[in-house]
């Protein structure tokens, strides 16, 4: 249960773990504590839980045979493993790779690193809706392209790429694979994961535990290992496998995927209520569009400082975000909103509301009342 005096509107930053997930984790830590690499009974028991967690993840995503799961600490590590691991392994096939200019830093920084290693990178610009125009991808593809990484749902503004069209374009080039940072759509938007060669899950974004996550990839794809040691996780990520965390990830995914359609409908209604309250407030300019994910509503303030408004909202127990949680301490400007062609003032003053199952219609009314008060009272 959430605290009755607070309204949490920052689900894209992190979510409260499901009770079932926490109790599964604590029970497993005290009972199933064997090392899944040990060959004695406790180890074999742990390994069987680990294998079941892998199967359960693929089942929750409706993926039949042909995929494997590599457990990681979250989406950042999974994106790094997929992008850098793939490029280093297959650089003899070609050295051109493609991404977009609004990806999460855990993708963008991998491309910048690979650029330093000699890869040629195309950073596709997004259109005014924050999505990659498939014809732009088509123009950028070459016979040397080995990897394309384009996110499903943007974490700041909720814009959603057309994965079906994009994947079709990539797969017309036999040497190229399609990776997608699906962190913000798993458990929320209905994605056909079979369109993708590699994609990622972050546990704490789907009411799971921080420190849990995975990379899902086609069986036949080989990656260069990133962590050296005992060879766990298919030789890609050495280190004793945290079996309870892996099972907690499978559990949260199972719970959230089972109610994905009902929740999508509920969140869409809540989103609309917030939108109705906000859209006509003087000094508000929307950055999310009608085609964005309903889970995220992003706008800029034209006359006030977003950081001041975020702090004032926090003082009355309403938690929202200005730019993304990962960026907000480093820089006060949103490169995603700037990429939409918006002014510096707008990019510096963004507010993101991100919804979850603990929100309701009344939250929109309370938010609007407090937000209007703050907008009137602060300079």
Ligand X SMILES: Cc1ncc(COP(=O)(O)O)c(C=O)c1O
**Residue numbers of the site for ligand X (CB under 6 A)?**
74-76, 104, 106, 151, 155, 181, 183-184, 202, 213, 324, 326
The catalytically annotated residue of 87, 110, 247, 326 is 326
| 214 is annotated as an active-site residue | no
Q: Where are the beta strands (DSSP E) in the chain?
A: 7-8, 67-72, 96-100, 120-124, 145-149, 177-180, 198-202, 213-218, 284-286, 296-301, 318-319, 350-354
Strand partners, 299: 286, 351
Compute CA distances 109 → 105, 113, 155, whole Å. Answer: 5, 6, 16
CB of residue 106 to ligand X, shortest distance in Å:
5
Sheet holding 284-286, edge to edge: 284-286, 296-301, 350-354
Whichever of 73 and 145 has its CB closer to ligand X, that residue is 73
The CB-nearest residue to ligand X is 74
Whichever of 273 and 327 has its CB closer to ligand X, that residue is 327
- Give which of 7, 2, 11, 9 is closest to 187, Cα–Cα: 11
Whichever of 94 and 158 has its CB closer to ligand X, that residue is 158
CB of residue 151 to ligand X, shortest distance in Å:
6
CB of residue 99 to ligand X, shortest distance in Å:
12
CB of residue 9 to ligand X, shortest distance in Å:
15
CB of residue 158 to ligand X, shortest distance in Å:
11
CA-to-CA distance for 143 and 58, rounded, in angstroms?
32
Per-residue three-class SS string for 207-220 = CCCCCCEEEEEECC
Whichever of 202 and 293 has its CB closer to ligand X, that residue is 202
C-alpha of 107 from chain center? 11
Whichever of 106 and 273 has its CB closer to ligand X, that residue is 106
Q: What would you report as the CA-atom Rg of the chain, rounded to the nearest whole angstrom?
A: 21
The residues annotated with a catalytic role in the active site are 326
């Amino acid at each position: 249960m959430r605290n009755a005096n607070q309204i949490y509107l920052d689900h894209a930053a992190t979510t409260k773990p499901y009770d079932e997930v926490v109790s599964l984790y604590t029970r497993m830590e005290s009972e199933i504590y064997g090392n899944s690499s040990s060959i004695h009974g406790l180890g074999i028991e742990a390994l069987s839980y680990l294998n079941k967690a892998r199967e359960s993840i693929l089942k929750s995503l409706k993926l039949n045979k042909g995929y494997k799961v590599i457990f990681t600490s979250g989406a950042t590590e999974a994106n790094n493993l997929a992008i850098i691991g793939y490029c280093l392994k297959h650089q003899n096939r070609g050295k051109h790779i493609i991404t977009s200019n609004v990806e999460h830093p855990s993708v963008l920084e991998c491309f910048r690193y690979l650029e330093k290693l000699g890869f040629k990178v195309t950073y596709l610009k997004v259109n005014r809706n924050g999505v990659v125009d498939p014809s732009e991808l088509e123009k950028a593809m070459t016979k040397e392209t080995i990897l394309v990484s384009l996110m499903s749902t943007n974490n700041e503004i909720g814009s959603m790429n057309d994965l079906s069209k994009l994947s079709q374009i990539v797969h017309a080039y036999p040497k190229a694979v399609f990776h997608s940072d699906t962190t913000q759509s798993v458990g929320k938007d209905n994605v056909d994961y079979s369109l993708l060669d590699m994609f990622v899950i972050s546990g704490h974004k789907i009411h799971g535990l921080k420190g849990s996550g995975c990379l899902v990839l086609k069986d036949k794809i080989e990656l260069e290992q990133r962590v050296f040691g005992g060879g766990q996780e298919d030789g890609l990520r050495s280190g004793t496998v945290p079996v309870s965390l892996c099972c907690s990830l499978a559990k949260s995914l199972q719970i959230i995927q089972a109610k994905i359609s009902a929740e999508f409908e509920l969140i869409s209604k809540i989103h609309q209520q917030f939108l109705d309250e906000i859209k006509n407030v003087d000094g508000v300019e929307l950055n999310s569009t009608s085609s964005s994910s309903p889970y995220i509503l992003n706008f800029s303030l034209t006359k006030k400082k977003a950081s001041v408004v975020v702090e004032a909202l926090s003082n009355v127990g309403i938690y929202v975000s200005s730019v993304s949680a990962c960026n907000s301490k480093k820089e006060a400007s949103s490169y995603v909103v700037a990429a939409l062609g918006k002014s510096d003032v707008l990019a510096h003053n963004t507010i993101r509301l991100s919804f979850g199952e603990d929100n309701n219609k009344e939250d929109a009314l309370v938010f609007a009342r407090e937000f209007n008060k703050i907008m009137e009272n602060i300079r």
